[in-house]
A and B are shown apart, each in its own frame.
Chain A
Amino acid sequence: MKSTTTNSRRDFLKMSAITGGGLVLGFNWFSAEASAPVVFSSVAAGDIGFNSYLSIATDGTITIMSPNPELGQNIITSFPMVVAEELEADWKKVKVLQANLDNKFDRQLTGGSGAVPHSWKLLRNAGATAKFMLIEAAAKKWAVPASECTAANSFVIHSRTGKKLGYGELAEAASKIPVPATVKLKDRKDFKLIGKSVRNVENHKIVTGQPLFGLDFYREGMVFAMIQRPEQFGMKLKSFDGSIAKSMPGIIDVVSFKNNVAVVGKSTWQVLKARKMVKIEYEKEFALESTEDHDKLFLNLMDNGQATVRRKDGDVDAAFKNAAKVVKGEYQCPFISHSPMEPMNFFAHVRPDGVELVGPTQTPGRARTEVSKLLNIPEDKITLQLTRLGGGFGRRLYNDFTVEAAELSSIIKAPVKLIWTKEDDMTAGTYRPAVRYRFEAALDASGNLTGYKLRGVGINSGNPTRENNFPSGAVENLLIDSVEHKSPITTGAWRAPITNFLAFAEQAFIDEVAQAAGKDPVQFRLDLLAKAKKSPVGDIRYDISRMEGVIKMAAEKSGWGKKKDVSQGFSVYFSHASYVAQVADVVMRAGLPVVKKIYAVSDCGQVVSLNGASHQVMGGIVDGLGHAMYSKLSFRDGAADQNNYNTYRLIRMKEVPEIETHFVDNGIDPTGLGEPALPPTGGAVANAIFKATGKRVRNQPFIEEDVFKTIS
């Protein structure tokens, strides 16, 4: 390939004729800093070596590559929709392909609900620029002004004469049109795809069981491997005896590296059986912690820990000294496992001339970097083929399994597929950290919130506060700080990191304060926001109007304050640049609270695919509810008590309430959606349970709280 300077536009097109007809309008999807357009000297159709392109074949088939890992957030459908919208492509003629790891892409990862917000304008520009060139090509052919031509449904149409040419027929000529410096994007009122319900492009493959996932990847001659890791956090490998395992059928080798003992064999089952026969001795490296220790530690550090101040406004001591009423509440959550349905796995083949990696990761670029560092092999000698991910929830942000596979392949000098069992996945980290929060509020005689304190104590949690979130900015005197305990138990980001629990605690506490102030919980929140708007205190990082918007709409849609037959709880949260308010309807059945329905109003800006978006919201709510209600990992001497779905409880079909989703239609560019619907759920449910029972659930999982225990 060579660079051209025919156009100064920095962030766009690369193009070329495909050998044997058809045309590639390649483009750099993401990088605003990319260099001038590049012409590929020859591109074979479907050649994934050039995967940052949209191509138009002579038969009119439009191929759009989707670079980000797909784990159920539906990016493989929504990204191409945005390109196709501006391209005026006939969606039925669009073929979508998952791209492999490629430096041409910027931010080729799945995490932080950031893909659509990050790429929105670039994707639109990509489609619009190609459309411009197709129109120019047609106009040239017809010798008419381009202004008389329009594009629709993969055709360019000359409005005056009604002449039309398909994109396939125009592709080659279009490739010779100079790339425009700027293009006009569509008015959102003219959107035909964006905001509509478009089905997942991989549905057919999913429902017919075609190989899509990492675990489905097989390569002739590859071997299978499982690793025995220490069962207790704090232990390290001392010695092992793999002789019995090695003599078992199908077993090729038993090797160790770091704290791992790996069993390599010809089939998954043989390896799984042989692994049980490896005798391993461990020795203590760090303290072996138990949940009992953590409970004591939380209480001790809450009062005596060395706290790091995260935000301080006004004079908190004075506010509490002068308070007419002080409200206190403490909330605690356990570790939880991500536990995606597809256990961790990766294929690696370390050869003398390079490394081939295949599998499911949320961060392919980081995986490559880690493997490069470990094996001292340059990154450009490492390829990574992305498979569909059978869920992630943050677990696949970490590439321990990729690195293990690569290290093992380099030791045994063979292509290897490393498989974790569900037990491996649940007992070896990387968990949502356990955290305890203490909230304190000072109210004056009129019930105004004059002081607010939050201390978060977490185990490997970093900063477990979101110090600039609501109600910061609405309270004159505020102190938010945190204490961290370092533990050998490994933790990491879990869908809606930190806020997956903090939001519940905070929204439940806000209700406690509203109750103490004698105010309606919705009105109390709106009053605080009005105050923040009128006289903001310090830095405000959330959009007050957008938050007010979802609160009001959720109150309206749920019939807040008007229902007699259900107890309602309210919650609202800002995360990943989006705003979600929820109302939970709870009824009592046989003395126990039952969640009947959850209303969700989301402001995530422009919705891309409506059914995809509502699916994310519903999934987020089910995830938030399920983990708030049922899930926990406890520890004894550094080992997890729960290791599979028989002891670690996930929500099931009969436990999900009805869910009603609404979106604010405000035309703002998209903000995140994969995570923001999860945080508010626990709070809405907890507040409804309080209304129904007079009892406040303060600890997760709720199911272990007194209110869920029937009197025997």
Chain B
Amino acid sequence: MAIYKLQVNGKTLQADVEADTPLLWVLRDHLGLVGTKYGCGIAQCGSCTVHVNGSATRSCVYPVSAVGTSQVITIEGLSEKGDHPLQKAWDEIDVAQCGYCQAGQIMTAAALLKQNPKPSMDEIEVTMNGNICRCGAYHRIREAVKLASTKI
């Protein structure tokens, strides 16, 4: 066990955990940030996606010891009032069915739009293909990313 000081959503937070603890479980069990979801635990579904220094990262396989001074952004910190263009587009297009994977979908899309604010449909698909939506809301996810890209 060791104390890790993490930069999460612009704040310094600390957790007393083992070095191999995935960032996902530090966020959820120790920091009370449950918006980041546990889906598969093996980086296959993308439900646990957060930003580490701006890059979409699968927090379920990312050990806390690797975070260091990196800036971590979770869905709770994506915007102050829940009004990031993607969050607004997700509401406007009414994307969610069960909603469980959507935080990870939005964080994946947010990293994409940061690097490439006007992605083509093909670029959206290539990026978002890594995130599973078991409800099959893929059409609306794609549409919402596209819509958000017009508002950035």
Contact = CB atoms under 8 A, between A and B. Distances in A.
Interface of A: 71-74, 197, 199-200, 202-204, 206-213, 215-216, 218, 224, 249, 267-270, 273, 339-343, 388-393, 421-423, 611-612, 615-616, 618-623, 626, 644-646, 650-654, 656, 659
Contacts of A653: 125, 128-129, 131, 133, 138, 141-142
Contacts of A422: 39-42
Given A207-B106, A619-B137, A646-B44, A267 B25 contact: yes
Contacts of B17: 267, 269
A623 B101 CA distance: 15
Contact of A202 (B22, B99, B133, B138): B99
Contact of B35 (A209, A341, A421, A652): A209
Given A204-B82, A644-B42, A652-B129, 16 more contacts: A200-B94, A202-B96, A203-B94, A207-B91, A209-B33, A209-B36, A213-B100, A267-B21, A340-B100, A388-B99, A390-B101, A422-B39, A422-B41, A623-B136, A645-B42, A653-B138
B interface, by DSSP: helix, strand, loop or mixed? loop
B136 A621 contact: yes
Given A209-B34, A209-B74, A71 B98 contact: yes
A621 B141 CA distance: 16
B8 interface: no
B134 A249 contact: no
Contacts of B118: none
Max chain A Cβ within 10 angstroms of own Cβ: one of B101, B102, B136: B136
A216 B125 CA distance: 29
B34 A654 contact: no
Contact of B98 (A197, A389, A626): A389
Contacts of B47: 341
B11 interface: no
9 contacts: A72-B96, A74-B97, A200-B96, A207-B86, A207-B87, A208-B87, A224-B29, A390-B99, A652-B138
A656 B101 contact: no
A212 B99 contact: yes
A206 B132 contact: no
Contact of B18 (A206, A207, A270): A270
B5 interface: no
Interface string B38-57: 11111011010000000000
Given A207-B87, A656-B138, A619 B97 contact: yes
A137 B21 CA distance: 62
Category for how many chain B residues contact A: 35 or more
B10 interface: no
Nearest to B128: A653
> Top 9 A-B pairs ranked by shortest CB distance?
A209-B35, A622-B136, A390-B100, A72-B98, A72-B97, A209-B75, A645-B44, A206-B99, A208-B82
A208 B35 contact: yes
Contacts of B82: 204, 207-208
Contact of A206 (B38, B96, B126, B136): B96
Contacts of B125: 653-654
A635 B40 CA distance: 21
Given A209-B35, A653-B141, A203 B96 contact: yes
B143 to A, nearest CB: 11
Nearest to B38: A215
A614 to B, nearest CB: 10
A644 B40 contact: yes
Given A203-B91, A391-B98, A267 B132 contact: no
B37 interface: yes
A249 B133 CA distance: 35
Given A200-B96, A342-B37, A623-B136, A206 B102 contact: yes
A421 B45 contact: no
B30 to A, nearest CB: 7
A560 B125 CA distance: 30
B136 A651 contact: yes
A389 to B, nearest CB: 6
B44 A644 contact: yes
B111 interface: no
Interface string B123-152: 001101111111111111110000000000
Nearest to A211: B34
B137 A615 contact: yes
B116 to A, nearest CB: 17
B18 A269 contact: yes
B6 interface: no
Contacts of B38: 215, 268, 343
Interface centre among A200, A390, A612 (most CB of B within 10 A): A390
B142 A210 contact: no
B102 A207 contact: yes
